[in-house]
Structure formats: structure tokens, C-alpha cells
Structure 1
């Protein structure tokens, strides 16, 4: 069952169940828009109606962030585990490697895009890399980029354009694609070695956000969304209790 947090319906599937669901969708020729949502994304959706429509219109919203699990518990609901976007990307790439799926990478700087492509080619040589394009394109160039993706017919389209741009891009064009379309945030920078991911212990302790803040202190204003999110969830819980 979905767990509704501040108007966003999160999947309560485990990582394994999520991967199995997406494999079936790809094999059946369906299109699935996946949003890997953390508290920052939920709060962005509350401030931006267009972004909210894009997120809520997704086919699958997975809990990428320990704050989402805490929010669910505050509401008396259970989400079994975090389904981190970076980890889901790798799980899907492992399937692409085995099944010879077609993959397209969109987003990040030209350098990070190329670096991410090379890293995935080394790790998953069985996948078929049908195209890639950096994220530095304007509205007048968007149609040409979409046409390239459409012609490439990827089973997996990873979009690292940042929030809210990546979800808005997918929402506008997913009717022209088939397969999994997933916003992947800063994953290309990590794959390219430009940004280090938090060590496993930090991830297990739910402190990946703090590790990222240490690396990128300019993000501190965005991190304020976490306490705002938790306060909004508490208010939702009080409202539920009054019903």
C-alpha cells in the first residue's frame, strides 16, 4: 500500500520488490516515471504547484531519504527501507547488464556526463549505451534532445537535471518514451568521481545528508527543508488524529 506523506504517495516496497516491479514493466514494454523523493522534494512540491503535479503524476515514488522513513513513523505507518536513487540506478544497471537493455544518460555537465558514461560502461559492459547528452540545453534545444531519446528507444532513461527540472522534463515528455524514466539528481557527479558518496556507515546511520553538507556547505539552506518537513508531518498527524 502507498503511504501518503504531505500529499505525496510513497511506495512501501523494499528495494528488491521495487526492482522486480520495474523489470516487469520494462519487459512488458510499459513506461514508468520513477521519482526518488526525499524531504527536500516533498517541500519543493508544496511550494511549486507545477512541480507538485509532476511528482504526483509519477507512476512510482520511492523513499530516498531517511527523513521519509521518519515521517512515515510519525504518521503511524511503516516503510520497510530506504530505496536510494543512486542504489536503485545501480540495481537497474545490473539488470541492463544481464538483459542487454538500452540505456540513455541525460544531464549534468558535459564532463560529468561523459565520466558517468565511462564508469557505467566499465561496470556494466553488457548494457547497450544508446545515447547521452549533458544537461546544458535551453528550451529551444529541448525538442531536439527529446527526439534523440525517442529515436534511441532506451529501456532506462536516467535524467540528472536537478530538482525540479528533471521531474518536470520527464512529466512533459514521458508519453514519447518507453521504459523506466528516472530522475537521478547528482548521481552522475558521483559516478564520474566529482563528488564522493557518504561511506556505508554514514548511510546506515542515516547521516548521508550531513556528509553531503560537509562536502557542499553551500547546500545548507536546502537542508533547512528537513526540519520544516518534520514539522509539517507532525501537523499532518495532529490533523489526522482530530478526524
Structure 2
């Protein structure tokens, strides 16, 4: 039987494929179990490697391989991760389940215009899913208690948080026991894509595993963040050659 966890530079990834991951999450929600999902790409792995507090958060979460770099790293180190589980596609798949099961959904983060548009589009696309609330990510610290209380009162099956990593993961863990959310997941820039403000790479770029390059070409300001990719590759290969990975 394939093991359920593979370690990439110390980060414990689920080895389930996309559909199997969705089914597993649905099973946990229906069973009343709380789940914190982290969609981890090379940038997240390097953050976890360099910051002990963030690594502790990731180690307690259900981590999926969001990024072809993770799949390649697994291949290089002979670990059973064969399929990407991207954040925006996982969000859409969980929304489809929410539509089917009439689950409640809460959206938090992003720019005010973006979150409003994303909420509207998701409500139109999944009419039986109940979008019970949304809030942009431009809030002050003294407003957090009110936001947490609002989410707690709504008791969402799905809580999607777009505050950027590592802030979104730290925020969810900080308030996890108060939020009353069945599944909470950091979704980074997914609301920008869903709202239509940012275009996802065309299918051919995705198929060629060059989505990261498309994002860099269309948003050159991302170049500093993208430096995590070559650092990640070099670190994986160095550990492989030294026999530690």
C-alpha cells in the first residue's frame, strides 16, 4: 500500500492524488473532524525550512503538493507524489462539493473589490453552496476579534483565507479553536483568479508545467518570490546527493 505521507525537505506532504484528496476532505467534514489544509509550493517549503514556528504549523496540517516543483522533488527522491493538487482547483472542487451538499462557506482576505467579486462569482457558479459571509484582508488588529466572532457564529463548513503565506496559516492556527470551521484552507491569490482580476496561465502553459513562468512574465514584481524555486531545487538535489533526502 502506498504510504500516505512523503517528506520533502522536512515538510510532510500527503501522497493522495487530487480526487482522492477531495474525497478525504469531504469524509472528514461529514465526519465532524476539523481540517487545516496547506497548499504548499517550493516557496512554502523554503519558508518552513527557514522558520521554525511556521514549520510547526505545517507539520500539524494536511499538506498538498501545489506546484510541479514538489512533484519533481518527489521523483528525484523516490517518493510517491505523482500529481499536483493546486490551491485554486482544490477550492473549486470543494465548492462543487459544497454545492452538492448545501454546505456553508466563508471567504476572508484579498482586496475589497476582489473579495466582493469572488464571492459573487462563486455564489453564481455554485448556487446551492451558501456563501454565509466574506471580508477583505485589509483589517486592523483591533478588528480581528469581531471577524473571528462573525466566522464562529456562521460555523462554515469551508473557510478560505487569502492573506498570503505565512500570515494566512498563522492567522488560522491562532484562532482555530474559536472559528468553528470544519475545513480551513489558505488560498493565496486564488480569489484574484476567481474574481477575474488575474488570469490563470493558459492550459498549454499548465500542461508544459510552465505556469510559474507565465505568472512571472505577467507579474514581473514576483521575481523575488520566484527565487525560492531555484533555491528549492538546489537544496533538494544537495540533500539527495548527501544521502539525507
TM-score relative to the length of structure 2:
0.95
Question: Could you say which residue in structure 1 is the equivalent of 2:120?
Answer: 118
Question: Is 1:195 aligned with 2:192?
Answer: no
Change (3 A) 1:241 1:36: closer
In 1, the alpha carbon distance for the partners of 2:50 and 2:163 equals 19
Equivalent residue for 1:27? Answer: 30
- 1:13 matches 2:20: no
In the other structure, the counterpart of 1:169 is 171
Please say if residues 57 and 169 of structure 2, whose CA atoms lie closer than 8 Å, have aligned partners that are also in contact: yes
**Aligned 8 A contact 2:159 2:181 in 1:** no
Structure 1 contact 105–113 (Cα < 8 Å) conserved: yes
In the aligned structure 1, how far is the partner of 2:220 from the partner of 2:37? 28
Q: Which residue in 2 is equivalent to 1:104?
A: 106
What SS does structure 2 have at the residue aligned with 1:158?
A: strand
* Partner Cα separation in structure 2 for residue 127 and residue 98 of structure 1: 7
The separation in 2 between residues aligned to 1:235 and 1:16, in whole angstroms, is 32
Compute the TM-score of the two structures, normalised by the length of structure 1. 0.96
Distance 1:241 1:153 in 2: 43
Q: Distance in 2 between matches of 1:135 and 1:76?
A: 39
CA shift, 1:183, in A, is 0.3
Q: Quickly say closer, same or farther: Cα 1:77–1:135, change in 2 above 3 A.
A: same
- Distance across 1 between alignment mates of 2:22 and 2:70: 19
Structure number with greater CO (CA < 8 Å, separation at least 6) is 1
Deviation of 1:76 (Å): 1.5
* SS of 1:178 mapped into structure 2: coil
Q: 1:241 to 1:155 in 2, by over 3 A?
A: closer
Q: Deviations over 1:109-165 (max 9, x none)?
A: 110000000110110001011111100112221111111111110000000111111
1:106/1:160 contact within 8 Å kept: yes
Secondary structure at the aligned position of 2:242 is classed as helix
What is the root-mean-square deviation in Å for CA atoms of aligned residues?
1.2
User: Structure 1: 5+ residue runs without aligned partners?
Assistant: none
Runs of 4+ more than 4 Å apart: none
Aligned equivalent of 1:224? 227
Please give the alpha-carbon distance, in whole angstroms, between the structure 1 residues aligned to 2:108 and 2:244: 44
Name 1:238's counterpart in structure 2. 241
Q: How many residues align?
A: 241
Work out the CA distance in 1 between the residues paired with 2:232 and 2:149: 38
Q: Residue 88 of structure 2 aligns with which residue?
A: 86
The answer on whether the counterparts of 2:40 and 2:63 sit within 8 Å (CA) in structure 1 is yes
Q: CA deviation at 1:241?
A: 6.0
Q: 1:130 aligns with which of 129, 132, 145?
A: 132
1:57–1:241 CA distance, 2 compared to 1 (3 A): closer
